[in-house]
Structure 1
Amino acid sequence: MTETRLEVDQEALELAAKYFGTTTPADTINAALREVAARSRRAKAFAELVEIGKTGQFDELLVKRRPR
């Protein structure tokens, strides 16, 4: 791990700590960074699914799910 010195918005840090349930600034910042990275991956995956859906590849699944 790398040690970095930086100024942090204390109010934002406190709010983030409450949100993540963390007790140290380092844990809070790391949790926030991991969350942002995960959200970014999910957004990219969702965008890819939307593009696949536009091709009609999911149409067969929709037909199978319709009640008869």
Structure 2
Amino acid sequence: MITNFKVDENLLKEALALCDHSTADLVIEAALREYIQRRKQLKLLELFGTIDYEENYDYKQQRQIR
């Protein structure tokens, strides 16, 4: 896919200096992958504390079953 958009040159230069990618296209692709991965992680973090366990839940017993 060919896409034209403006990117802050200073940001792009800094990103190129920090990574092993040789082209701006590769840097942008890597940045998008990292962004998506981070957003997915944040969604998972929102789930913590939302699962209710029974009062007599015995996690040690569940570990022995495996």
Q: 1:32 maps to which residue?
A: 31
Cα distance between partner residues in 2 of 1:15 and 1:49 = 35
Cα distance between partner residues in 2 of 1:32 and 1:17 = 11
Unaligned runs of 5+ in 1: none
**Normalising to structure 1: TM-score of the pair?**
0.67
SS of residue in 2 equivalent to 1:45: helix
Paired residue type of 1:25: A
Cα distance between partner residues in 2 of 1:17 and 1:60 = 51
Unaligned runs of 5+ in 2: 61-66
RMSD of aligned Cα (Å):
2.1
Runs of 4+ more than 4 Å apart: none
Larger Rg: 2
Q: Deviations over 1:19-56 (max 9, x none)?
A: 3321101000000000000000011111112323xx35
- Aligned-residue offset at 1:18: 2.8
- Aligned-residue offset at 1:60: 4.9
Given that 1:20 and 1:31 are in contact with CA atoms closer than 8 Å, whether structure 2 keeps it comes out as: no
Paired residue type of 1:23: S
Identity %: 28
Cα distance between partner residues in 1 of 2:16 and 2:58 = 45
Count of aligned residue pairs for this structure pair: 58
- 1:33-48 matched pairs, under 5 angstroms: 33-48=32-47
